[in-house]
Amino acid sequence: KSTTSTQKTTPETKAAPKFKSPAEIKKSLRERRKMRSSRYGAKYFPNIELTNQDGKKFKLFDDLLKDKVVSINFIFTSCENVCPLETARLKEVYEIVKPRLGKDLFMYSITVDPARDTPEKLKAYKKKFGIGDDWDFLTGNKKDIDELRTKLGLYIKDLNETLPNGQIDHNISLVMGNTRTGKWMKRSPYEDAAVLATMFGDWLTNWRNKPVIKSVDYKTADNLATTYSDGEFLFRTRCRTCHTIGGGDGVGPDLKGIMKKREKKWLARWIKEPNVMIREKDPIALALYEKFNRINMPNLRMSNADVTNLFEYFESQDNPKPKVKKRAGIK
């Protein structure tokens, strides 16, 4: 007689989930930050030698990056295209974060044309834009600078950098990072200065310096259109960094009444190819160049359609539509 014994089984008791204490969470975050920092630390960045506008020499990582929150962009002083616009936009960022520069925020602009951009030329370039001592412009060995551009993801290997008239094609993106946490980001110089300043000064520092929010009356706010015209969008993203309409001269002239002041054909060409007009010694172009600190009006590759859209926007600002009065009882 065979018997089969059956045993009563009980389900395994599941272990209760283990939650980390606040101290353990903080320790884990510190370890993760340390790993990320070491990945983009001394072993990642070449410790190349750079020289600033005053002739002072620095080691890239040891002196300029280690344990710092930094912004880095690449320019050259004889640029006829985007570099002047990029520098003007970063000047707006500079003015916002200026009280913190040299303390917990650091700004660096590095030339991609070290053969021509001597410390003296970099100093003169800074002076054109009214930039103080707390933003360094740097030069060095071209091979070293190209290695740094590669490490920052800003070097395009197959790009033919050599262009006519001494121009250099290069990546114009801005890189911002915190070498202590290993947190880095790449941004466009066309972005709003306040947004860039917030990312640089607050996001990368984990909001260590909480902004003081001041309440203001809505009556003081600008009127905002629900949508921008193509011309207004171009003005806001390409022109407003250097120009105002009715707000006075800036890096460039006030454009209030520009459609009446300048002949249309001349103005269209000036918007499309200002660098060519300066080389041709156009008298009006040269006068503007001299008046505004010899800062190049950038050639932004504007199309005929772009020029038409800008003209329409300029005219709309000179001849604003009258506000329609609301009838009683209508809100």
> Which structure tokens are listed for 254?
């006030």
What is the C-alpha separation between 96 and 293, in angstroms, rounded? 23
Task: Give the pLDDT confidence of 105-115 residue by residue, as tens digits.
Answer: 999 999 999 99
pLDDT grade for 161, boundaries at 50, 70 and 90: confident
Q: Quick check: is 235 in a domain?
A: yes
Residues 279 and 194 occupy one common structural domain: no
User: Is the model more confident about 155 or about 259?
Assistant: 259
71 & 199 share domain: yes
Residues 310 and 177 in one domain: no
* Local confidence band at 147 (pLDDT 50, 70, 90 cut-offs): very high
- For residues 239 and 192, membership in a common domain is answered with no
Residue 138 lies in a domain: yes
* Residue 167's CATH number: 3.40.30.10
pLDDT: which is higher, 37 or 50: 50
User: Are 245 and 189 within one domain?
Assistant: no
In a domain? residue 22 = no
Indicate whether 80 belongs to any domain. Answer: yes
What is the number of structural domains in the chain? 2
Same domain assignment for residues 159 and 263: no
Which domain does 63 fall in, by range? 49-203
| 196 and 58 within one domain | yes
Confidence of residue 211 (pLDDT cuts 50, 70, 90): low
Backbone φ and ψ for 71, nearest 5 degrees, come out as: -120, 140
Helices (H), the chain: 22-39, 83-97, 119-128, 142-151, 193-198, 230-234, 258-261, 264-272, 274-279, 283-291, 304-318
List all residues 6 or more positions away from 227 whose beta carbon is below 8 Å from its beta carbon.
none
Share of the chain above pLDDT 70, in %: 82
Segment 175-186 mean pLDDT: 93
Q: Do 69 and 133 fall into the same domain?
A: yes
Distance CA 63, CA 306 (A): 44
Which pair of tokens denotes residue 193? 């200065």
CA dist 303 → 45, 83, 222, 299 (Å):
40, 19, 30, 11
Place of tokens 């707390």: 134
What is the band of 226 on the pLDDT scale with cuts at 50, 70, 90? low
Residue 1 pLDDT class (50, 70, 90 cuts): very low
* Residue 263 and residue 157 share a domain: no
Q: State pTM to two decimals.
A: 0.76
Q: Domain for residue 288, yes or no?
A: yes
Per the structure block, which two tokens stand in for 214? 């001041």
Task: Identify the band that residue 66 occupies on the pLDDT scale cut at 50, 70 and 90.
Answer: very high
In a domain, 209, yes or no: no
Q: Please provide the average confidence, as pLDDT, over all residues in the chain.
A: 86
In a domain, 180, yes or no: yes
Q: What is the pLDDT, as a whole number, of residue 90?
A: 95
What is the band of 60 on the pLDDT scale with cuts at 50, 70, 90?
very high
Instruction: Looking at the structure, tell me whether residues 238 and 191 fall in a common domain.
Output: no
Contact predicate 126/138, CB 8 Å: no
Q: Do residue 235 and residue 303 come from a single domain?
A: yes
Report yes or no on 185 lying in a domain. yes
Evaluate if residue 4 carries a pLDDT over 90.
Answer: no
Residues 163-188, mean pLDDT to the nearest whole number: 90
Question: Residues of 15-45 as b/e, b for ≥16 C-beta within 10 angstroms?
Answer: eeeeeeeeeeeeeeeeeebeebbeebbeeeb
Q: Domain check: are 174 and 274 in the same one?
A: no
Q: How confident is the model at residue 2 (pLDDT cuts 50, 70, 90)?
A: very low
Q: Do residues 259 and 247 make contact, with C-beta atoms less than 8 angstroms apart?
A: no
| Mean pLDDT confidence for 18-40 | 66
Assign residue 243 the CATH number of its domain. 1.10.760.10
Inter-residue contact 57 to 147 (CB < 8 Å): no
